[in-house]
Amino acid sequence: MTNLNEPGVRPNNPNFSSGPCAKRPGWTVEALADAPVGRSHRAKIGKAKLAEAINLTREVLEVPANYRIGIVPASDTGAVEMALWSLLGARGVDMLAWESFGSGWVTDVVKQLKLTDVRKLEAPYGELPDLTKVDFDRDVVFTWNGTTSGVRVPNADFIPADRKGLTICDATSAAFAQNLDFSKLDVVTFSWQKVLGGEGAHGVLILGPRAVERLETYTPAWPLPKIFRMTKGGKLIEGIFEGATINTPSMLCVEDYLDALKWAKSIGGLKTLMKRADENFAVLDKFVTKTPWIEFLAKEPATRSNTSVCFKIVDPAVAKLDADKQAAFAKAIVNRLEKAGVAHDIGAYRDAPSGLRIWAGATIEAADLQALTEWLDWAFKAEQAAL
């Protein structure tokens, strides 16, 4: 095998996982020193921390004042499921799916909730479904950014202001990195372990006025688990959106989220976060442009994610291999970089086409991505020589 010299510059932070994602620059465990560990989340200090997290979320993410923000259990998945189980069934629903998580929501709605008036608008990995065919007289469920495909909606222009149905948006890898138009979104969910690099297990559920109205005027035909219940006596349980969480949150995780939010605010808020993600994507875009063996999984430039950036290996010698060998080749690159200590967790998602997935959200430094590109080329050439 040909001996290749290793690149001279290593990423300072090799964590490029798409969730949980890299911590903010300069993070240390001392950032959690003020966490009220061993205290009740219902104590005055616990409630104050949770309320601060909600208020800072509103400020940094620029959530309208008339939208409720709640901290809920079970990460983004829990937040999405709360919305689906509590809101759907009042009218027909259009389910949009172009990657693993969107497909999962389709399965839940059809097989678990057993709704029958469901239209599925699907597209293969790398593409979006035809958004002009969405019927907004119906409820609509979609992911803003497909974490496992690297395909995002370019904007909210496809959503009409005078829609009759609700828009339920899984925005977990878009929040804090892409411009969410809340006027077009009735429900937004995310988990703070994505763009802000917080610790896992908690989700955020944001409800607009139209979603609240649905909750207070519609009762689903199925029983709701306690963990999903957001109303009592036909009225929204406002405490959920003031820091009185449905179940016990980790105050260490809340403290970590507060640290990330304060960092985000200190560097300029949402505008700077989006700028950092765009600049990070530009590093990878430049690398793809000059590198013949790699290409984005997302076909259209306008739909390419600036956070979960997915790639396919298009080198002719690799492309002619069968699917299993192509997957093994990509995995060998991932393992080589892992062993070198320069990139952790950059393999494609298990349900996605084989390839690479590199996180480029706001907590990543552009210089680390630039260094990584040299190592990507090194690892590819080493594995190519072994074919």
The arithmetic mean of pLDDT across residues 360-364, rounded, is: 98
**Residue 154 in contact with residue 146, Cβ under 8 Å?**
no
Percentage, residues of the chain above pLDDT 90 = 98
pLDDT at 1: 44
Cα–Cα distance for residue pair 336/382, rounded to 1 Å: 9
pLDDT at 282: 98
**Residue 251 in contact with residue 245, Cβ under 8 Å?**
no
**Residue 123 in contact with residue 156, Cβ under 8 Å?**
no
- Quote the crossing angle between the two packed helices 270-290 and 366-385, to the nearest 10°: 30
Span 269-289, pLDDT tens digits = 999 999 999 999 999 999 999
pLDDT at 2: 54
**Residue 126 in contact with residue 148, Cβ under 8 Å?**
no
The arithmetic mean of pLDDT across residues 230-250, rounded, is: 95
pLDDT at 330: 98
Question: Which domains, ranges and CATH numbers included, belong to the chain?
Answer: 29-266 (3.40.640.10), 270-385 (3.90.1150.10)
The enclosing H or E element of 143 equals strand 139-143
Cα–Cα distance for residue pair 94/267, rounded to 1 Å: 39
Distances (CA, A) of 177 to 133, 147, 194, 262, 337: 27, 13, 10, 16, 26
The arithmetic mean of pLDDT across residues 21-50, rounded, is: 97
**Residue 372 in contact with residue 9, Cβ under 8 Å?**
no
| Residue 138 in tokens | 């119906």
Please say if the pLDDT value at position 240 is more than 70: yes
Please give the mean pLDDT across all residues of the chain. 97
Span 64-115, pLDDT tens digits = 999 999 999 999 999 999 999 999 999 999 999 999 999 999 999 999 999 9
